[in-house]
Amino acid sequence: MNSFSKIGIVFGLLLCVTACADKNSPNYQYMPNMYEPVGYEAYGEVDFLPNGQEAMVPPANTISRGWIPYGYENTPEGKELARVQKSPLDSLNIESDLAVGAELYTIYCAICHGDKGDGQGTLVKREKILGVPSYADEARNITVGTAYHTIQYGLNSMGSYASQLDTKEMWQVSEYVMKLKQDLTK
């Protein structure tokens, strides 16, 4: 009987505590720094960084990690210079590079250029965009360097894919485009 009264007292105290809770005010915060972050004004002065600046200009003559500069300009002359450029990919891994290039081509390129590179992608068939030529066109004279240049900078109504693909992926897609061209011209 004594234990029933203790349980009743504990239950009554819990009922009183929960009845007095105000749902409009927050409960106790353990580690309040996790709930209330300290915000800094963008480009504002801070006391713990060099020169008191939060966002600083990168040092001169530096390159971001993982980015390789492209040596040709976005001009017709730059595209002609890129025509003779060879792929830097390892020729011993060409099968795996072509497999990755095929996957990336399917994701980014096939919607317009078609799965076979014949210029009959889904958007072309639905007449959403017009004038996507086939890779087999003799007048285009595609090389792996011009394919990379076009992916890097874009051409006509095709935009650049440099923000979606890194350097190696762009070369893999360029190699796959050359394979599609070879398959179409047989």
Tokens representing 176 are 């796959």
Task: Please choose, from the candidates 56, 54, 24, 22, the residue with its C-alpha nearest in 3D space to the C-alpha of residue 41.
Answer: 54
Residue scoring higher pLDDT (146 or 43): 146
* pLDDT for residue 106: 92
Task: Please choose, from the candidates 106, 161, 109, the residue with its C-alpha nearest in 3D space to the C-alpha of residue 132.
Answer: 109
* pLDDT for residue 121: 86
Contact 167, 68 (CB under 8 A): yes
What average pLDDT does the structure give for the chain? 83
Q: Which of 34-48, 77-91, 166-180 has the lowest mean pLDDT?
A: 34-48
Mean pLDDT computed over 58-72 = 80
CA 55 from chain centre, in angstroms, equals 23
Q: State yes or no: pLDDT of 144 exceeds 70.
A: yes
Task: Please choose, from the candidates 82, 86, 105, the residue with its C-alpha nearest in 3D space to the C-alpha of residue 176.
Answer: 105
**Amino acid letter at 111?**
I
Flag whether the pTM goes above 0.75.
Answer: no
Task: Please choose, from the candidates 56, 54, 58, the residue with its C-alpha nearest in 3D space to the C-alpha of residue 39.
Answer: 54
